[in-house]
Amino acid sequence: MALAIMCSGGDAPGMNPAIKKFVDYVYKKGEEPFLIYDGLEGLIDNKIKLAVHTDVAGILHRGGTIIRSSRSKRFFEYEYRLQAYNNLKANNITGLVVLGGDGSFRAMERFSSEFDLNFVGIPSTIDNDINGTDYCLGVDTALNVIRDALDKIRDTASSFNRAFLVEVMGRNCGYLAIVSAMISGAEVCVIPEIEPEYQKLGKRLRGEVEEGRNYVLAIVAEGTKQTTQIHKWLQETIGLETRVSILGHIQRGGNPTVFDRLMAFDFTITAVDHLMLHNNSNKVVAYQKSEFKLIEIDEVVSKKYQLPQRYLDALSLLD
């Protein structure tokens, strides 16, 4: 049996630990592990290589992915999907592990509906926006990067009479923003899921400024597309000079945390074990209530991820 692993879409800390565990574990099971370089583009172009242990030695602590990733427009065309499938068959690959997010799994759903594909997806995105799983690989590392940045920004914010507005990633999901606000003590948090009550927020913050507050930390999720608007509101309504920091892609980098390394271990073992027992799998590994489960790909892509109510409730506690 030959199994392959690939990354698709945005990179996430924890991908390299998953790749290393995949190669080591597949060999331990007496099978052949293949690495697919450059994601879906590499699958189309047959950038498929039988892995050896030296390929993955010393990568567990590294962020990103050594086999690289991509977003592929060509994969939307049937002829290239057929070419990708033929490349898997030519290498006698009978099972595929895909590290990716929502877009990657939608591509795999389409792929598996057309061809005899045996694959398991591992949710890997710092956005934590995959339906059916409580956790995606890379989230803890990203949150720690954000936490470190926010702690440093608050240090300088408290030295001036200023507001600091920090934009975090997350695509259309407010998970990173709300959790970061909760652990940093931010005074304002704006996420796509809930329209902010500017009048209520303004009244509270103006009152606090009058009573001596000399700085404000505000966090906004990129998916709101309101960073400029909130910047203007803080300056004109609250009356504090405001600086904007867009954290950007540093959130996708950095050494995977202990938790992400552990999650990569368990995600990968679960995926490989399932592939070795099934010939026609179209599943995604999900982490639900501290347990790893396999769920159908259509369940993952047919519904939009919803933030847990406890996080939505937490917004009112920031007031």
Catalytic residues: 127
Task: For residue 219, give Cα distances in angstroms to 126, 184, 188, 216, 315.
Answer: 17, 10, 6, 10, 12
Distance (Å, rounded) from C-alpha 265 to C-alpha 16? 11
3-state SS string over the chain? CEEEEEECCCCCCCHHHHHHHHHHHHHHCCCEEEEECCHHHHHHCCCEEECCHHHHCCCCCCCCCCCCCCCCCHHHCHHHHHHHHHHHHHCCEEEEEEEECHHHHHHHHHHHHHCCCCEEEEEECCCCCCCCCCCCECHHHHHHHHHHHHHHHHHHHCCCCEEEEEEECCCCCCHHHHHHHHHHCCCEEEECCECCCHHHHHHHHHHHHHCCCCEEEEEEEHHHCCHHHHHHHHHHHHCCEEEEEECHHHHHCCCCCHHHHHHHHHHHHHHHHHHHHCCCCEEEEEEECCEEEEEEHHHHHCCCCCCCHHHHHHHHHCC
Q: Residue 141 has which token pair?
A: 């590392």
Which residues, in sequence order, are CB contacts of 277 under 8 Å at separation 6+?
none
